[in-house]
Structure 1
Amino acid sequence: MKKYSIDGKFLATLPVGYSPTDVTQVDQSQVAISLYNKVLIVDSTDLELLQTFDLQGISVNGLCFIDHDQFIVSYSSTLTWINSSSGQKIKERTTNGSSYFISTSNKKDYICCDGNSAASRVVGKTTKFTYTSSQLSYPRGMGIDFVGNIYIWIWF
């Protein structure tokens, strides 16, 4: 992992292992990094590894922090909620696939790819909407801006 200032100056590096797949902000001084079956908690000020959660039997690609004490990790057709203090699995939800990345706007909802040509917004246990389009081919990365617009990177 490499840290840069807002103006693009290199600040520090921290070896985190092979092929990190996502990063999410936990609080003002910590970030979490996803690897194949791990979540690393890193002090973002000093770029120090604080904690490693080895998620035996849970594959991880996407990662977001929610509700002050949970992560959602995503992989293929599975979303898994993980306690951010213990690394223990809380619950799991199955999607229609291609849920490699997940994003949240207000820590109480999430948006994920939900099949090869769909993306869904879920609040609690309720799917608020599902956008489906043949142009949304194998969606991958996604994000939400400060006013709630959703951006989805698709595979060409």
Structure 2
Amino acid sequence: MSITQILFWTLSIVALFSALMMITSKNPVYSVLWLIVTFFCISGHYILLNAQFLAIVNIIVYAGAIMVLFLFVIMLMNLGKDTEPQKSKWLKLASAVSGGCLLLVLIAVLRKTETHMADLTSGEIGLIQNLGKVLFNQYVVPFEISSILFLSAMVGAVVIGKKE
């Protein structure tokens, strides 16, 4: 067993455990902290796939900025057991059934996929140069549309937050 396989299985087990802890945690602050651990494990998987740029962006953007905002909002709202609405048994059953259906769909999709190990072992798949070529050649129009969408969201946030 190589070091890459050991790292993969270790990261996978830690990611699954932290994701389960995030879902089952009663305290919302602990849930966010477990989600940060999950993001770090996913970044480790990106590094194992030779996608260093995606790993760094995942750590900076998701585990850094967005999780800090989540923690700020949760602490600002002061969520606790007394403010949590009680859920009925039917709602819990419906959520369990829908989660099971999603799991079955994911298993069915993953059974149909093929792995191309030659592409992953070439060492060229995660380089920033290749990512930039694909992003600005094939996906330039969706990239520009998303930048306009982000710009309009920023203008909307400024307009909403502005006092009259």
Superposition TM-score, scaled by structure 1 size? 0.21
Return the structure number with greater helix share.
Answer: 2
Q: Which has the larger radius of gyration?
A: 2
Superposition TM-score, scaled by structure 2 size? 0.20
